[in-house]
Structure 1
């Protein structure tokens, strides 16, 4: 199923607060094989930037891909010519974060140690975090609002934020660090979309959950937005969010309209009805973006624009 294209990423750049990057330094994407990392590298390529990605497997080393093992005690040296790093890698599986002590070590100790090393080498660093640090009980939390994590992953990311901020303060590098929190990232391959598309091709209904709320953004949107932030070198806390808190039933109807699918092929259900435990079920998923929009011109992604992006 192929979705029609629409305009999908809208930026306005207030000249007085969004100066262009003044040097030609390249970028480093730590976690370039991840969903978000793929969006960033695609955006860097579209904009003509030079960049490196990282791998922890020697067998995967190629031109443009450098070795980085978080667990190694050997200091990581950024490639020559790199002036900016996106640190996207993390242990993100909710169950693993609850049960595997190594997940906390990765998220709270090893990745912040790498951020500190990059700052010490003079790089500007983006550290990727999550909307889950706010707990999901308050609508549209602002960039500098207090955290209220409810699950292990959220607590680890909150503690990771504290660790990277403390390192920046110790190094006098707070003007070279931003923490960017994201809402749910989607493309056409993210669950449950492949299963939905398959069912609709067969003329079968899907059963989206009415009790699961999110504020989705597309891979393309987040990639373009992060590269914009990188080009402008904006420090501090920033947010990238969908413009609406929606349940999966609402999302399914919007997707079906775009794809020309009969609404009768949507049969609402709920996680509670199905007896499915979902570790993070926020009442509100969206993030406030007032500071981010003022400093970068990036606005929350509208649901229709997200759905248009899913046709890529």
Structure 2
């Protein structure tokens, strides 16, 4: 931290599912009294967010040089596996090239970078995975994120990568998370005139609450702001294993609908996905960083009093 000046944090991708949670956590944290947090967004820029398109490398350079941040959190990415598979050039542009530009500028400015990555850098065959385990991504999304990790750490070895699994949290649209996106089909299946909803029961996931991840990221920022080193790769994950079929059953219980769900026990996705990428969170836990909200409590809070929950005909 520079003497006499606030600790400046640039949060890139502040309008997304995770970015909003991080912005909210940093705004209410005690550290906010001495920090200045600058939020950026591409498509949802508003009075609180500075418009920044990561594909415009010159604009990224101008923004960072003008701000001179102490830390940069990169929560923006192309994270939809099917989109990455069908448009690998776009995946590379956002997940690799943009991150390399940020890393290069950050190193010149002396800023610390924390970039969000994914459990999909692993093939899911030998969980749990520690940060030192060899990656083996199965799809274009995982490959692009792994290449982005390497680009960041090669450009600035003092930077840090935080790998995360399936995220869910306060949402603007049902489709923002693969957890909440199940809800319309769950409710629709409860209508006696509709067929059952097929839900994946093959892959084990570890749903992780974005407000909890925000607490983790705040802890990492505070650790670094105090002058302690934090570089390389770290993991954070929820600790409740469940398939999408399990998740759907829990959502149905919260909504009190008699959903007709069918367990699909073989993979059906066009894009290959790993079976179980449980991440070992021990490195951050050893630093006293972390928080986990039980899934049933978190999902009940998210779905309570939502005016846009699809009509429940069988209540």
Report the TM range for the smaller structure's normalisation: 0.7 to 0.9
- Give yes or no for the alignment of 1:162 onto 2:150: yes
- Which residue of 2 is the match for residue 65 of structure 1? 50
| Corresponding residue to 2:11 among 29, 37, 45 | 29
Give runs of aligned pairs for residues 184-203 of structure 1, distance below 5 A: 184-187=166-169, 189=174, 190-191=177-178, 192-196=181-185, 198-199=187-188
- Give yes or no for the alignment of 1:122 onto 2:122: no
- Give yes or no for the alignment of 1:98 onto 2:94: no
Say if 2:77 and 2:95, in contact at 8 Å, map to a contact too. yes
- Which residue of 2 is the match for residue 6 of structure 1? none
Q: Alpha carbons of 1:303 and 1:60: their partners in 2 closer, same or farther (altered >3 Å)? A: closer
Q: CA deviation at 1:297?
A: 3.0
1:38 is paired with a residue whose SS is: helix
Q: Distance in 1 between matches of 2:156 and 2:45?
A: 31
Say if 2:11 and 2:38, in contact at 8 Å, map to a contact too. yes
Greater relative contact order, per chain length (Cα 8 Å cut-off, separation 6+): 1
Structure 1 unpaired stretches of 5+:
1-21
Give runs of aligned pairs for residues 74-93 of structure 1, distance below 5 A: 75-78=61-64, 80=67, 82-93=69-80
Figure out how many residues of one structure are paired with residues of the other and give that number.
280
- Give yes or no for the alignment of 1:54 onto 2:40: yes
Q: Alpha carbons of 1:311 and 1:277: their partners in 2 closer, same or farther (altered >3 Å)? A: closer
Q: Alpha carbons of 1:98 and 1:248: their partners in 2 closer, same or farther (altered >3 Å)? A: closer
1:297 is paired with a residue whose SS is: coil
Say if 1:70 and 1:114, in contact at 8 Å, map to a contact too. no
2:162 is paired with a residue whose SS is: strand
2:274 is paired with a residue whose SS is: coil
- Give yes or no for the alignment of 1:283 onto 2:275: yes
- Which residue of 1 is the match for residue 212 of structure 2? 221
Deviations 1:153-201 (A, max 9, x none): 11111111111111113xxxx1xx2100010011363343430464377
Deviations 1:52-102 (A, max 9, x none): 122447x94646525454333452343547322111112223233223323
- Which residue of 2 is the match for residue 180 of structure 1? 162
- Which residue of 1 is the match for residue 227 of structure 2? none
Normalised by the length of structure 1, the TM-score is: 0.77
Q: Alpha carbons of 1:69 and 1:255: their partners in 2 closer, same or farther (altered >3 Å)? A: closer
Say if 1:107 and 1:157, in contact at 8 Å, map to a contact too. yes
Q: Distance in 2 between matches of 1:54 and 1:297?
A: 25
1:117 is paired with a residue whose SS is: helix
Q: Could you tell which deviates more after superposition, 91-100 or 212-221?
A: 91-100
Q: CA deviation at 1:284?
A: 0.7
Q: Distance in 2 between matches of 1:68 and 1:105?
A: 11
Give runs of aligned pairs for residues 117-156 of structure 1, distance below 5 A: 117-156=105-144
Q: CA deviation at 1:220?
A: 1.8
Q: CA deviation at 1:29?
A: 1.0
Cα RMSD of the aligned pairs, angstroms, is 3.0
- Which residue of 2 is the match for residue 253 of structure 1? 249
Q: Alpha carbons of 1:228 and 1:309: their partners in 2 closer, same or farther (altered >3 Å)? A: farther
Q: Alpha carbons of 1:280 and 1:182: their partners in 2 closer, same or farther (altered >3 Å)? A: farther
Q: Distance in 1 between matches of 2:299 and 2:277?
A: 18
Q: Alpha carbons of 1:119 and 1:145: their partners in 2 closer, same or farther (altered >3 Å)? A: same
2:9 is paired with a residue whose SS is: strand
Q: Alpha carbons of 1:207 and 1:110: their partners in 2 closer, same or farther (altered >3 Å)? A: same
Normalised by the length of structure 2, the TM-score is: 0.77
Q: CA deviation at 1:308?
A: 4.1
Give runs of aligned pairs for residues 231-270 of structure 1, distance below 5 A: 231-233=222-224, 234-262=230-258, 265-270=259-264
Q: Distance in 2 between matches of 1:300 and 1:308?
A: 15
Deviations 1:137-159 (A, max 9, x none): 12110122111111111111111
